[in-house]
């Protein structure tokens, strides 16, 4: 069995980078923060993301959608580690949606499984939006 390298950044710094990419609309950064294949799991089913272009397309459409609804940024808060073992972090957090002035306008709960590569880089392997089943979610998206 290979030795698993420690992550080069804390999970808080990892999600700060992730939300910075979301806020800045850095589609390449977002595509590069995922492991391939990755898995998106919702109450409606599972989707295997096998190549970066799928992430680019998803986040490009998502950015247009959120911006058109007055959401111009996102911040991670209330990061909870359920378990962390060498090479794998499993937990959940709140993505707080922000308007142009940086004021909160809603939130979305998400769970993640994050893997650590041999070089210490963290990547999202599984993403689970926890509010997709809830028509009353408080995302701020109208």
pLDDT computed for residue 1 by the predictor: 42
pLDDT at 6: 87
4, 50, 53, 140 from 109: Cα distances, Å: 29, 24, 25, 12
The pLDDT of residue 39: 96
What are the CA-CA distances from residue 72 to residues 41, 131, 134 (Å)? 25, 20, 23
Q: What is the pLDDT along the chain (142 residues), one digit of tens a residue?
A: 455 678 999 999 999 999 999 999 999 999 999 999 999 998 889 999 999 999 999 999 998 889 999 999 999 999 999 999 999 999 999 999 999 999 999 999 999 999 999 999 999 999 999 987 655 545 555 4
Question: CA Rg, the chain, in Å?
Answer: 15
pLDDT for res 44: 86
Q: What is the rounded CA–CA span in Å between residue 116 and residue 138?
A: 31
Would you state the structure tokens that stand for residue 95, as one six-digit string? 């993505």
The CATH code belonging to domain 11-129 is: 3.10.450.50
Q: What is the pTM of this model?
A: 0.88
């Amino acid at each position: 069995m290979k030795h698993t390298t420690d992550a080069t950044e804390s999970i808080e710094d990892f999600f700060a980078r992730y939300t910075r990419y979301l806020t800045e609309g850095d589609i390449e950064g977002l595509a590069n923060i995922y492991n391939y294949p990755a898995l998106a799991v919702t109450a409606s089913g599972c989707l295997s993301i096998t190549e970066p272009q799928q992430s680019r397309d998803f986040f490009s459409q998502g950015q247009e959608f959120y911006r058109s609804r007055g959401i111009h940024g996102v911040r991670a808060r209330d990061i909870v580690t359920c378990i962390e073992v060498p090479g794998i972090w499993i937990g959940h957090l709140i993505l707080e949606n922000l308007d142009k002035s940086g004021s909160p306008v809603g939130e979305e709960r998400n769970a993640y499984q994050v893997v650590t590569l041999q070089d210490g880089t963290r990547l999202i392997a599984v993403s689970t939006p926890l509010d997709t089943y809830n028509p009353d979610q408080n995302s701020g998206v109208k």
